[in-house]
Amino acid sequence: MGSFSKNMAVKYMKSSGLTNKVDSAFITANKLDEKLKELSGITEQVAKGTSEQASAVDSTNSMISALSNSINGVVKNAEQLTNLAQESQNSLGEISSSIKEVAVNSENVASSVEQISASIDQMGKSIKGVAGNA
């Protein structure tokens, strides 16, 4: 394209306001590019925040799971303790019954010893009586 044609085209663009429109479009495109860069930065921050929140949620889930396992262990231990307490109570009941039986048997033995002693005493008197008659 010749220099004359180029100059005529430039003059036409300036006189019709097309140059102003191109300049305005260029400025707007630059502003849009800046805003897109800002939006990209904000999007990265949101993505980073979301990732950190997901990590925190995972950590919380792990802690809750560990706490749940710990609570289950405490429940099992409490159940075992309850069972042992029940068994101890049953054993103490059996021991108490045995002690009562021993007490009754001791009373019976004491009574028998008293009867035997009285019988021996009576036999001694009878022997003395027979010896005195002889």
Calpha distance 3→35 (Å, rounded) = 39
- Residue 55 — pLDDT band, cuts 50, 70, 90? very high
Interval 49-68 mean pLDDT: 95
Alpha helix (H) ranges present in 1-134?
A: 3-16, 18-133
- Residue 39 — pLDDT band, cuts 50, 70, 90? very high
Calpha distance 92→88 (Å, rounded) = 6
Calpha distance 23→14 (Å, rounded) = 11
pLDDT number for residue 56: 95
Cβ neighbours for 13, distance < 8 A, ≥ 6 positions apart: 19, 22
The pLDDT tens digits for 78-122 are 999 999 999 999 999 999 999 999 999 999 998 999 999 999 989
Q: Are 13 and 19 in contact (CB under 8 A)?
A: yes
- Residue 1 — pLDDT band, cuts 50, 70, 90? low
The pLDDT tens digits for 61-82 are 999 999 999 999 999 999 999 9
Calpha distance 105→112 (Å, rounded) = 10
